[in-house]
Amino acid sequence: MQQDKQPEYGPVVFRDRSAGYAFLTRSTATSDRTIEWDDGNTYPVIDVEISSESHPFYTGKARTVDTEGRIARFERRFGEQGSSEG
């Protein structure tokens, strides 16, 4: 990286909309959108899809996935082929 072209490093709010969670940190990431923080100052805000508040690994809460429907659909399509080979 060139010496004269360092990115600006400043306060940014990252917001996880699915969990209703936001945190203020410092980053080189930028955004045109802003948010008023608890301290009364306005900071750039970046929306993220997932954070430690909504990720199943960190929360310990697994999300329910409809695997029964997928298994039943697989058995309908391929179940008879597998049983006639034996």
Q: What per-residue confidence (pLDDT) applies to 42? A: 95
1-38 burial: b if 16+ Cβ within 10 Å, else e: eeeeeeeeeeebbbbbeeeeebeeeebeeeeeeebeee
* Mean pLDDT of all residues in 36-52: 90
Residue 82 pLDDT class (50, 70, 90 cuts): low
Q: Hey, CA dihedral for 73, 77, 83, 86, is it positive or negative?
A: negative
Q: What per-residue confidence (pLDDT) applies to 64? A: 56
Burial class (CB in 10 A: 0-12, 13-18, 19+), 40: exposed
User: Does residue 67 surpass a pLDDT of 60?
Assistant: no
Portion of the chain with pLDDT greater than 70, in percent: 74
pTM summary value: 0.58
